[in-house]
């Protein structure tokens, strides 16, 4: 964050946006110049650095931009006070000496005071003069400097500029692709009041002070501090109402990852860790399975009235998404809060409950259709979880098959992949496969995970037959090439469907040939 007098913004038609320092030769030159100044002047006083900063301003750069970069570099620097004695103690002794010699109203009297103090502290008069105000900010010495790259410095500047603008925000709304646990912890730590809604994703609206009593910028500081947690995600959008301090006008502000992510410095967040050994063990065991379900740690929050629940996991397969919450150690107060939240959630949640919690209080949840409880003792069992998941998936698949049966489907493509068809209709590939295998359209043959028209099969058969006639034999590798060029991937099943078989000579596929199968003719 930056001081308000260094804020650079553009305001137009009720909209306000920071004047970002985009990558350019001019901006890179300014950043590199200042970084080199700090690198090359370790051991020098701060006033020397600031004099060089002024030189850059005099070259025509926007002074607020240059001073902001310098301020950010100051935060990466360690400045110390050099001197044999503490300057505060030295000044105290000098002021005490005035009781003996009188006020230093003349140069002679001042010299006597300095000589007296220097003698008592075994210093020279020159050393006393040098130490006298050595703890002033301009007199501090640069001892250490952690140099960023020019792009890092500009990214930090853009982030700080945006935070500074948000000092004056009266409300802020955002959505993000993840990192929700840290986001909600941060909002709680900064004392922000929020509500959650769903509108093409999860949106969080943070109420500003205007919705409470009166406009105050203290609340805006908390909003500004939240920004780095938001932009740490891969995808995000931030909208705000900002008080334009010059006219007390409320302006619109909006940035999004697609346009601005590359301009802002990302917060280095710690790697996500599991809350318990039970969670870590469950995740490892489940991911080792080839179940077709994708396990995601701490997915997006779920609305629970005006509050949210962040489930421990989500399990996804095609269009089906199940949330999973592990209820382990607990207090009665915690359990009651958890139950009240879960009663307001509309999404399907699978609760994995320690048997120690098999109490009357949890029975109210078993009556809710979107909640299902599985109990465990020492280790979470995978078998009942998989049975529950497959049951839910089969129910969804049956509904999707019913939808397909009611659709007036017509196929014109020579090859129709089950996956492509499922995506086009908006169903799972499992439902598409089950429907097409049991109800193959006329003039099409099911081959592997595709429908292939009889016309296409005849074309492939003709090319294979010509290849055999021309050379007297057809290597398997050449037959596979012909089939793949016709847009079909499953060459083995295509050959079988066309009445051919593979003659192997050993295990080397290079030696295998394609020959007609008298027992399986193509019709």
Average pLDDT (162-174) is: 86
Question: Which pLDDT tens digit goes with each residue over 387-410?
Answer: 989 998 998 989 999 999 888 888
223-242 average pLDDT score: 88
pLDDT on residue 254: 92
Q: What is this structure's pTM?
A: 0.59
Q: Which of 220, 224, 191 is nearest to 208 (CA)?
A: 220
Q: Which of 189-198, 215-224, 427-436 has the highest mean pLDDT?
A: 427-436
The first and second tokens of residue 13, run together, are: 């038609």
Residue 237 pLDDT level (bands cut at 50, 70, 90): very high
For the residues 246-271, what does the mean pLDDT come to?
82
Q: Which residues are CB-neighbours of 16 under 8 A, at least 6 positions away?
A: 9, 10, 165, 242, 244, 251, 252, 253
Alpha helices in 6-149 (DSSP H): 25-40, 46-58, 63-74, 87-101, 107-120, 125-132
Query: Looking at the structure, do residues 342 and 289 belong to the same domain, yes or no?
Result: yes
Determine the pLDDT at residue 209.
47
Question: Domain for residue 343, yes or no?
Answer: yes
Tell me: do 419 and 517 sit in the same domain: yes
The total number of structural domains in the chain stands at 5
Both 502 and 372 in a single domain? no
Residue with tokens 């995978």: 382
Q: Are 68 and 102 members of one domain? A: no
pLDDT in tens, 92-130: 877 877 877 777 777 777 888 777 777 777 777 777 776
128 found inside a domain: no
- DSSP states along 448-497: TTEEEEHHHHHHHHHHHHHHHHHHS-EEHHHHHHHHHHTT---HHHHHHH
Residues sharing a CB contact under 8 Å with residue 26, sequence separation 6 or more, in sequence order: 61
Buried b (16+ CB within 10 A) or exposed e, 246-272: eeeebbebebebeebeebbbeeeeeee
Calculate the CA dihedral of residues 158, 164, 166, 167 and round it to 10 degrees: 170
Whether residue 399 is contained in a domain is answered as no
CB neighbours of 352 closer than 8 A, spacing ≥ 6?
282, 324, 325, 326, 327, 374, 375, 376, 380, 385
* 33 and 147 both lie in a single domain: yes
Answer whether residue 329 shows pLDDT above 70: no
Identify whether 43 is part of a domain.
yes
In this predicted structure, the answer to whether residue 493 has a pLDDT above a threshold of 80 is yes
Domain assignment of residue 32, given as a range: 4-81+142-152
Note whether 241 and 376 are same-domain residues.
no
Shared domain for 20 and 147, answered yes or no, is: yes
Question: Could you tell me if 418 and 522 lie in one domain?
Answer: yes
CA gap 181, 299 in Å, rounded: 9
Task: Reply yes or no on whether the pLDDT at 245 is more than 60.
Answer: yes
């Amino acid at each position: 964050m930056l001081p308000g007098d260094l804020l650079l913004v553009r305001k137009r038609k009720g909209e306000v946006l920071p004047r970002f320092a985009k990558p350019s030769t001019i901006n890179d030159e300014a950043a590199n110049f200042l970084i080199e100044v700090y690198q090359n002047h370790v051991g020098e006083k701060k006033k020397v650095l600031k004099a060089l900063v002024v030189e850059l301003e005099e070259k025509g750069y926007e002074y607020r931009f240059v001073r902001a970069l310098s301020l950010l570099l100051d935060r990466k620097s360690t400045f110390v006070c050099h001197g044999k004695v503490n300057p505060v103690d030295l000044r105290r002794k000098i002021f005490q000496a005035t009781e003996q010699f009188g006020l230093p109203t003349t140069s002679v009297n001042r010299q006597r005071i300095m000589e007296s103090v220097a003698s008592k502290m075994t210093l020279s008069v020159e050393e006393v003069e040098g130490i006298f105000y050595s703890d002033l900010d301009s007199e501090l010495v640069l001892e250490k400097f952690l140099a960023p790259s020019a792009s890092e410095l500009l990214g930090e500047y853009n982030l700080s500029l945006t935070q500074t603008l948000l000092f004056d925000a009266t409300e802020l709304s955002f959505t993000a692709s993840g990192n929700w646990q840290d986001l909600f912890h941060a909002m709680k730590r900064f004392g922000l009041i929020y509500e959650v809604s769903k509108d093409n994703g999860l949106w969080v609206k943070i109420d500003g002070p205007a919705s409470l009593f009166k406009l105050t910028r203290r609340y805006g500081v908390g909003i500004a501090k939240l920004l780095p947690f938001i932009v740490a995600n891969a995808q995000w959008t931030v909208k705000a109402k900002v008080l334009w301090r010059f006219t007390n006008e409320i302006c619109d502000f909006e940035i999004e990852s697609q346009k601005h992510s590359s301009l802002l410095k990302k917060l280095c967040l710690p790697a996500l860790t599991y809350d318990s050994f039970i969670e870590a063990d469950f995740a490892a065991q489940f991911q080792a399975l080839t179940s077709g379900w994708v396990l995601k740690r701490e997915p997006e929050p779920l609305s629970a009235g005006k509050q949210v629940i962040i489930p421990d996991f989500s399990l996804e397969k095609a269009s089906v998404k199940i949330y999973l919450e592990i209820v382990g150690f607990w207090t009665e107060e915690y359990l009651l809060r958890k139950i009240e939240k879960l009663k307001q959630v509309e999404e399907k949640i699978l609760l994995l409950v320690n048997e120690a919690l098999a109490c009357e209080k949890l029975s109210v949840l078993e009556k809710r259709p979107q909640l299902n409880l599985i109990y465990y003792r020492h280790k979470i069992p995978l078998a009942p979880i998989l049975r529950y998941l497959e049951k839910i998936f089969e129910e969804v698949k049956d509904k999707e098959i019913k939808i397909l049966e009611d659709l007036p489907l017509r196929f014109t493509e020579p090859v129709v992949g089950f996956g492509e068809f499922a995506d086009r209709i908006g169903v799972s590939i499992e439902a598409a496969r089950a429907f097409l295998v049991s109800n193959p359209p006329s003039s099409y043959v099911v081959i592997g995970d595709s429908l292939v028209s009889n016309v296409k099969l005849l074309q492939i058969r003709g090319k294979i037959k010509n290849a055999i006639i021309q050379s007297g034999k057809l290597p398997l590798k050449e037959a596979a090439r012909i089939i793949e060029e016709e847009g079909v991937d499953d060459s083995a099943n295509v050959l079988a469907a066309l009445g051919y078989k593979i003659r192997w000579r050993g295990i080397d596929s290079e030696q295998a040939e394609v020959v007609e199968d008298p027992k399986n003719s193509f019709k």
